[in-house]
Structure 1
Amino acid sequence: MPKGSNTPVPTTALRVDVGRRSGPGVPDTDASALLLAGGKVRSDDDFVFYNQPAHSSGAVRHEGKRETGGRVTDTLLVDLARVEPGIETVILAASCDGGTFGQVPDLCIEVEDAANGTVAARFDSTGATTETAFVLGEFYRRQGAWKFRAVGQGYSSGLEGLATDYGITVDEPQRTPTPPAAPAAPAPPVAPPVTVPPPVAPPVPSAPPAPVRLTKVTLTKASPSVSLAKQGGTSGTLHVNLNWEVRKQFSGWAGKLGRPVAVHSDLDLDLCALFELTDGRKGVVQALGNAFGALHQPPFIHLDGDDRTGAVASGENLTVNLDHKHLLRRVLVFVTIYEGARSFADLHATVTLRPQHGAPIDFSLDECTVPSTVCALALITNTGGGELVVRREARYLVPERGVSPQRTVDHAYGWGMNWTPGRK
């Protein structure tokens, strides 16, 4: 559809894909959404993006990236039925990390029916030069119904400038303080001053809400590691999230159209963690055998549940207690297929590690081309003094006949544990 045009939205449950062609030197791009009342956000909570991935109403959720067929897609799930009455517009934006949109080929936004993958609208953004953020489209109310408009408005001030335009308070990077001036020459002695009672201090106003933090770290093959300490993640918790979906091609005429659609089956993926403590104790945290771990006692790692279909909005989650990081020697986060598939082919996943304090860390898994049922996701290593380093693994492993996925990943990383069969 051309820039400035609009179209009715046929359903309320929608999938918004912001896509681009991948390739060497192409900057990373991120999708985001702003929920507006009177042209502005009501608060910073109305901004949905990689650091704040879900709106409290459930109307918008940032699902994450996937790469397939030479394209990278960042997805927002939108449920217009859950948009609060005071919200008139949902802005759909993209930002560029490490370059400009003039370096991003084939940028587009697609709006799909979340139930069956039918494309309701598509806008191809062309002619970009120095822009680092774009409002690609928007949902807006008109006479009680929702419409989509192709916008195509660029910003050279990045996501920060775009967000600020709509009323978001952005956490600016700290500036280097000005060095103190040279000390002045000593003054001649004077008579001591008359003591005056200090004025009564005015009441201290309540602190304003914390500004939105736009920084993040994306791990890649070229840059696979990051120190949690250098990102400010030295205490509190580390939340590890695996969000996944199944993508299949239709057969027949639908297959010729090349349209992938989300499907749900009996697939059951399990997020797990091998751990080794500094006192030598080793073990596994997983749903199998109800070994969900513990957050405030060894192993200081807890699995919050078992998403057996991929339908749980938050995916599967592990939490690591960073207040006890000095007791952790290493932690390997991995995922296994418990049932429902023979490999990770057609499964697309995003891994996000969110320290309670500090910038989030994320990465996507490459497309699986081997018959793998276990994938090592991230290795967290204590490098000394309690400093933890996260390394992207994204390594698909193929178990030998009769060998479990857990034993396979154990052998690959030299954990040396004894394994017995377990059940959920």
Structure 2
Amino acid sequence: MHSLQTGGNTQLDGGAISVAIDWPLAGSAGLDASAYLLGASGKVRTDADMVFYNQPSGANGAVKVAGNSSTNLRFDVDLAAIPDEIDKVVFCVTVDTSAGGSTLARHDGLKLTVSQGGAAIIDYAPALGSATEAALMVAELYRRNGWKIRAVGQGFNGGLGPLARSFGIDVADEPAPAPPPPPPPPPAPPPAAPAAPISLSKISLDKGRPSISLEKRGSSFGEIQVNLNWNRGKKGFFGGGNAIDLDLGCLIELADGQMTVVQALGRRFGSFHDLPFVALSGDDRTGDVAGGETMRINGGQWPAFRRIAIFAYIYEGAPNWSSTDGVVTITAPDQPPIEVRMTEGRNDRGFCGIAVLENEGGQIKVTRLVEYFRDHSEYDQRLGFGLRWTAGSKD
């Protein structure tokens, strides 16, 4: 492992690498990570050269978001596939001010890790304890007899919007109130519409806004990812302590009436390409996976679904939902990320029904629940699935 200091650089072997940025939560406030593909001018070619949660792929997939949670974002980068006119790829983070963040000082402990072939080869941990900025250029890949990486660690005054604009991105602002428009002029042939500016918004479902509908943009919804992340607590020297094993799962009702469950319990991991078109990407038994647990839904098969009821349950550890700080993030291509935070917890219940995805006329209606139950059976009864439940194990 090569640990870089600010300003330091090292050569890369080329090929495919993974660039992960991990950070600690500050209360409910996290960070937003983004990557910018820059030409010789230091600017993007087009808005498509910004890669982040709302636009997860750039340069025909040469740089793409491979995982996203409230404490982590991972980019997969194919160095050989980056177009010749791209000289540099800059990785940045910005404070999520919509969740109450202010400066990067609250996220001291942030670390960038480069992996290749599944092994970590480079890391960089900038000192942020006294940072006053809300954005940071963490590191950059640049061409120099192949590809190298430099630890930048440069703060930037402003959030995600100003940072994106500094690289030449056309960012959509929140519209300001405007006076009533004047009478329309006589009709004229419409000019060619310019490209729509990038939307940086993410959506948080809460009691005031419990649901949202997603319209299909293209031939299908693509791959829908449901990520669960939480504060795992501390482990003791021999594996004890107050660490919590929180597991993600869902109840599924298909359009033909079939019903099933996907979860680690009973090793019912599902399948992405075959029925039930939902797959759980492993089970974080140790609590060491910074990205939490992720469930993949095949949005290309959305007409086959009637509804998907997402839940989380505590497999090991005493229920303490307030300290768990659980958050589920739902992402899909060309859709705003949707966050549901597991608040108002009941410590006499070890099971949380989080949200329901329903097929309404081909759209995806996402409805927040955040209700707590004793077990799977009680949640099933609440939603009327009618499955038969028996005790199970993950082993």
Asked if TM exceeds 0.5, the reply is: yes
2:195 aligned residue = 209
Cα deviation, 1:242-294, whole Å, max 9, x if unaligned, reads 4699xxxxxxxxxxxxxxxxxxxxxxx997653499xxx95437899x9999x
CA contact (8 A) 1:354 1:361 kept: no
CA contact (8 A) 1:20 1:107 kept: yes
CA RMSD of aligned residues (A): 5.1
* Separation in 2, partners of 1:204, 1:2: 54
Question: Does the residue aligned with 1:410 lie in a helix, a strand or coil?
Answer: helix
Question: Does the residue aligned with 1:173 lie in a helix, a strand or coil?
Answer: coil
* Separation in 1, partners of 2:144, 2:132: 33
- Give how far 1:23 is off: 4.2
Change (3 A) 1:355 1:60: closer
- Give how far 1:165 is off: 1.2
1:361 aligned residue = 338
1:172 pairs with 2:173: yes
Change (3 A) 1:242 1:91: same
CA contact (8 A) 2:329 2:337 kept: no
Aligned pairs, how many?
329
- Give how far 1:122 is off: 1.0
1:379 pairs with 2:356: yes
1:111 pairs with 2:81: no
Change (3 A) 1:102 1:111: closer
1:133 aligned residue = 135
1:263 aligned residue = none
Question: Does the residue aligned with 2:119 lie in a helix, a strand or coil?
Answer: coil
* Separation in 2, partners of 1:174, 1:273: 39
CA contact (8 A) 2:69 2:227 kept: no
Q: Which of these residues, 391, 396, 410, is aligned with residue 368 of structure 2?
A: 391
> Please, which runs of 5 or more residues in structure 1 have no aligned partner?
182-197, 246-268, 294-301, 337-341, 367-373, 400-406, 420-424
Question: Does the residue aligned with 1:81 lie in a helix, a strand or coil?
Answer: helix
Question: Does the residue aligned with 2:61 lie in a helix, a strand or coil?
Answer: coil
Question: Does the residue aligned with 1:171 lie in a helix, a strand or coil?
Answer: coil
CA contact (8 A) 2:22 2:73 kept: yes
Q: Which of these residues, 12, 15, 24, is aligned with residue 12 of structure 1?
A: 15
* Separation in 2, partners of 1:352, 1:48: 17
Cα deviation, 1:33-91, whole Å, max 9, x if unaligned, reads 11111221111111110111122532222233457xxxx33222222222222211011
Equivalent pairs: percent with the same residue? Answer: 28
- The TM-score with structure 2 as length reference comes to 0.63
* Separation in 2, partners of 1:390, 1:208: 34
1:416 pairs with 2:386: yes
CA contact (8 A) 2:327 2:342 kept: yes
1:27 aligned residue = 29
Q: Which of these residues, 119, 123, 126, is aligned with residue 125 of structure 2?
A: 123
Matches within 5 A, 1:231-270: 233=214, 240-242=224-226
Question: Does the residue aligned with 2:77 lie in a helix, a strand or coil?
Answer: strand
1:163 aligned residue = 164
Q: Which of these residues, 317, 333, 351, is aligned with residue 297 of structure 2?
A: 317
CA contact (8 A) 2:211 2:368 kept: no
- Give how far 1:380 is off: 4.2
CA contact (8 A) 2:59 2:83 kept: no
CA contact (8 A) 2:44 2:168 kept: yes
- Give how far 1:105 is off: 2.9
CA contact (8 A) 1:285 1:291 kept: no
* Separation in 1, partners of 2:207, 2:59: 32
Counterpart code for 2:47: D
- Give how far 1:157 is off: 2.2
Question: Does the residue aligned with 1:118 lie in a helix, a strand or coil?
Answer: strand
* Max Rg structure: 1
Q: Which of these residues, 236, 244, 259, is aligned with residue 284 of structure 1?
A: 259
> Please, which runs of 5 or more residues in structure 2 have no aligned partner?
230-246, 263-267, 284-293, 317-325, 344-350, 390-395
* Separation in 2, partners of 1:89, 1:396: 50
Question: Does the residue aligned with 1:104 lie in a helix, a strand or coil?
Answer: helix
Change (3 A) 1:417 1:81: same
